[in-house]
Amino acid sequence: MSDKPVNHARAAEHFIEDTPHLQFHDERLWDMRQKRDAQMHILPEWQELREEASRIKEHTLSRLPEYLEQFEANAKKNGIHVHWARDGAEHNRIVGEILKAHNARNLIKSKSMVTEECDMRPYLAKQGVTVTETDLGERIQQLDDQLPSHIVVPAVHKLTADVAKIFAKDYHTDPDIRDPHLLAEAQRQAARPVILHADAGMTGGNFVVAETGTFVVCTNEGNADLSATVPNLHIATIGIERLVPRMADMGVFIRLLSRSALGSPITQYTTHFRGPQKGGEMHVVLVDNGRSARLGMEDFWTSLKCIRCGACMNTCPVYRRSGGLSYGAVYSGPIGAIIDPTFNERKYSTLPYASTLNGSCTNVCPVKINIHEQLYKWRRVLVQHHEMPFVKREIMHMAGKLMGQPKMYRAAIKATEVSLSTMPRFVLYNWLNPWGKHRENPHPVKQTFNDWYRKNRETAAKPAAAPETKK
């Protein structure tokens, strides 16, 4: 994997060149945010639910080894095979071995961000396993050979015409279809035979219940249930942070998840897997992949509370106008920007800057992760670790010097005002001024605040201060 920092700004530049895509993306995500707000307003207990969810998650994370062991013991008792994977490579090897032992060549799977993290599909392809994504959005992304651009709606950056073009190539449908219903039907018809003949099914897991050894999967399409109930072999890949202690805790999380994500009260399917089906076999792979290390990061461990609803992405003005792919990472948007650097600090060093720090992400987060504060803290860490682009570093350095010396600062402000009103554009707008790339510089003013203050207040304030000086 290349360590070259992701050029988020340049990728975003490319994304915003196309107005119809940009406009749809922005409006669609904002619509999801507004639907989430409507659900929030229906429930007077909303803030209490968030507080509960946050406390349950923080508690669980503080005792994660105990709860993992409890889950494992209960799951084993119910006939589930439990595996542990330190990283993506180990996870892929485990899945590959299970499939090989069953001589399974065709795997159907529902959406799982952890398998994206592990880059599992290419690994299994090399082993001769055909992997078919069954979630519509994820399938579109698989056929287009792209990462999901959003954790809930993976193909949200595409328009109907884009999907029609992709399906025409692989499903031989009419490339001029403009009715999403026809395309969704084409996916249903194409997926059915694959599902019926699959050797194995794979899902992720939204929640893991220690008390009962259950894992819970939430979907809308029913594709996870098809993937898990049609083939007799079911493998679930789950991050080790997904635990909750008690079944009764699920009430809090199910009430928050889909309302926060899409603004629907609940996902169409909420499925509880506690053991294999009759004649079937069930495996759970618990994946660490950096999570245990993140738990030890004082400022960032609470990012492990995340339930992957995507609300922070939908509300983020930067995400909405730059698209998920511009982050160049499995996780995009505000939550991606605070967890991606834990995977590769250099490569994702630019992402914590893809934010205005407006705090909207924190306000909508159903488990109360202080996302915007973590974005800010990451910037500090990255500066300390020298993971900062040259121009930005130099500008900050000069600004720091300037602001520390009032006389020089005032002189500089005056000079700036003069240059803003007199200098030609090519001097003012170039690579040394990245701020002015997509923005107009501020209008020059006739009088600086300091000048105004000296003229109007300083003189007016003097007589009142006079008796003091006489003493």
Partner 1 sequence: MSTARDEILQALRANSPTPENHPLPPVATLGDLDASRERFITSLRILGGDVLEPLEGETLDQAIVRRHPDAKVICSNVPEAKGTLPVEKVKTPQDAATIDVTVVRAPFGIAEMGSIFLSEAQLPINSFAHLGQHIVVLLAADQLTANMHTAYQERPEFKTANYGVLMSGPSATADIQGVLIRGAQGVRTLSVWFT
Closest CB to partner 1 among residues 3, 87: 87
The alpha carbon of 316 is separated from its chain's Cα centroid by a whole number of angstroms, namely 11
- Which residues from 223-282 bind partner 1, rule CB under 8 A? 223, 225-226, 228-232, 240, 245-252, 254-255, 262, 264-278
- What residues from 51 to 80 belong to the interface with partner 1 (CB under 8 A)? 52, 55-56, 58-59, 61-65, 68-69, 78
Measured from the CB atom, the residue of 163 and 388 that comes closer to partner 1 is 163
Per CB under 8 A, does 101 bind partner 1?
Answer: no
User: At residue 143, what is the residue type?
Assistant: L
Strands (E), 153-280: 200-203, 207-209, 214-219, 233-239, 243-244, 269-273
- 296 touching partner 1, by CB under 8 A: yes
Q: Which residue has the tokens 């959406």?
A: 111
The tokens 């590769």 sit on which residue?
344
Asked if 370 interacts with partner 1 (CB under 8 A), we say: no
Q: State which residue, 272 or 462, has the beta carbon closest to partner 1.
A: 272
Which CB sits closer to partner 1, 160 or 433?
160
* DSSP 8-class letter at 237: E
Contacts of 355 (CB under 8 A, 6+ apart): 316, 318, 334, 337, 361, 372, 375
Return the range that interacts with partner 1 (CB under 8 A); candidates 11-19, 130-138, 351-359, 371-379: 130-138
The reply to whether 387 sits near partner 1 by the rule CB under 8 A is no
Q: Which H/E stretch holds residue 82?
A: strand 80-85
- Residue 314 parent element (H or E): helix 311-315
Rounded to a whole number of angstroms, the minimum distance from the CB of residue 363 to partner 1 is 20
Least distance from C-beta 338 to partner 1, angstroms?
17
Q: Does 180 bind partner 1 (CB under 8 A)?
A: yes
Instruction: Give the single-character DSSP code of 214.
Output: E
Per-residue binding letters, 21-50, with partner 1 (x by CB under 8 A): ---x---x--x-----------xxx--xx-
114 binds partner 1 (CB under 8 A): no
Minimum gap (Å) between residue 382 Cβ and partner 1: 21
442 binds partner 1 (CB under 8 A): no
Interstrand relation of 214-219 and 207-209 (parallel, antiparallel or unpaired): antiparallel
142 binds partner 1 (CB under 8 A): no
Residue found under tokens 């639907």: 35
Give the whole-angstrom CA distance, residue 352 versus residue 334. Answer: 8
